[in-house]
Amino acid sequence: MPLDQVDVDNIQPEEKEMTFFEHLEALRWHIIRAFVGITIVAVFIFFQKDFIFKTVIFGPRNPDFFTYRLFCSFGEMMCIQPTHFEVITRDLAEKFTSHLTVSLILGLIVAFPYVFWEFWRFVKPGLYSNEKKSARGIVLICSLLFVAGVLFGYYFIAPFALSFLAGYELADTLATPTLNSYINYMIMFTLPVGIVFEMPVVSFFLTRVGILTPRMMRTGRRYAVIIILIVAAILTPSPDVISQMILATPLYVLYEMSIAVSARVSKKLEKERKLEEAELEAREKAILERQKMIE
């Protein structure tokens, strides 16, 4: 149909290209819905104060915590016990503000699948059909990796780090951390680890857009090991080697998984490229045959 016969006003909404401000408006509503989801979960958690603080937040400092019992079951050499310490507050509002902080952070962690789903709903319309197909199940995968990272930090990094930091002796000092300090450490032990565990997903998208290749990742493996050790040292504030290696080991495994993901995506892209070339060649042959028939 000639362009001058196209009725622009009658184009269906799904066929119209959104303007920049329409994209901003759509993004705003996705952010609002994600924030509402976090708030709803945070409010529910806020009213579970006793369970959240006694069982979850202060769990890794209790001798009967799951991780301590697990390692002690392997033998005396593997058995670690936390050093008892009191958590204090130095400000009248510290208990309340810490309660709010914990509620919001746990709200974000629990509502992460919904938050990422809202983000994916915003990004998905801009992808091609083959990209949507290859990214099928991305919300579930991202959610599982994030939760796995948070749980790993909570059950393995936090107990070892707290045991080392609280048991470290220096002259006649006594470990009495403030509530804010303790909560900040618990956040550091868990939330960043959940984000770092998204490494295979990042590898998938970077390979998909052509920024990353499996060859690059294999070549840079030795540098990746150094970076992983640095990241492990940053995410585990305790300077003990055990805590750092506990985090560095799964990070290296995730790096190898990322290489496998990148290689798979790369092969798929190569297959799609060859298929497109074959289709283009078939079209060119068909056009040439038609021209010969006309002649």
Residue 212, SS3 per DSSP: coil
C-alpha span between 248 and 202 (Å, rounded) = 18
For the stretch 27-71, pLDDT in tens is: 999 999 999 999 999 999 999 999 999 999 999 988 888 888 887
What are φ and ψ of residue 88, in 5° steps? Answer: -120, 170
Residue 91 near residue 41 (C-beta atoms within 8 A): no
Helix runs in the chain, H state only = 20-46, 49-51, 66-72, 94-110, 112-123, 129-134, 138-152, 158-167, 179-196, 199-208, 214-219, 221-235, 241-294
For the stretch 77-90, pLDDT in tens is: 677 777 788 899 98
Q: Which of 200, 190, 196, 203 is nearest to 141 (CA)?
A: 200
Cα–Cα separations (whole angstroms), residue 235 to 48, 161, 170: 28, 10, 23
Percent above pLDDT 90 for the chain = 42
pLDDT at 133: 79
Binned at pLDDT 50, 70 and 90, residue 238 comes out as: low
For the stretch 171-183, pLDDT in tens is: 778 888 899 999 9
* Single pTM value for the model: 0.82
Whole-angstrom Cα Rg for the chain: 26
Residue 52 near residue 45 (C-beta atoms within 8 A): yes
Q: How many CB atoms lie within 10 A of CB 281?
A: 10
Q: Which of 76, 49, 251, 52 is nearest to 156 (CA)?
A: 251
Count the residues in the chain.
295
For the stretch 106-137, pLDDT in tens is: 999 999 999 999 999 998 888 778 778 778 88
Q: Which of 229, 218, 212, 210 is nearest to 256 (CA)?
A: 218
- Using a 10 angstrom Cβ sphere, with 0-12 exposed, 13-18 middle and 19 or more buried, the burial of residue 187 is middle
pLDDT at 7: 44
Contacts of 79 (CB under 8 A, 6+ apart): 68, 71, 72
Mean pLDDT of 200-217: 89
Domain residue extents for the chain: 18-195, 198-295
Residue 256 has pLDDT above 50, yes or no: yes
Q: Hunting for tokens 């938050």 — which residue is that?
A: 115
C-alpha span between 148 and 156 (Å, rounded) = 12
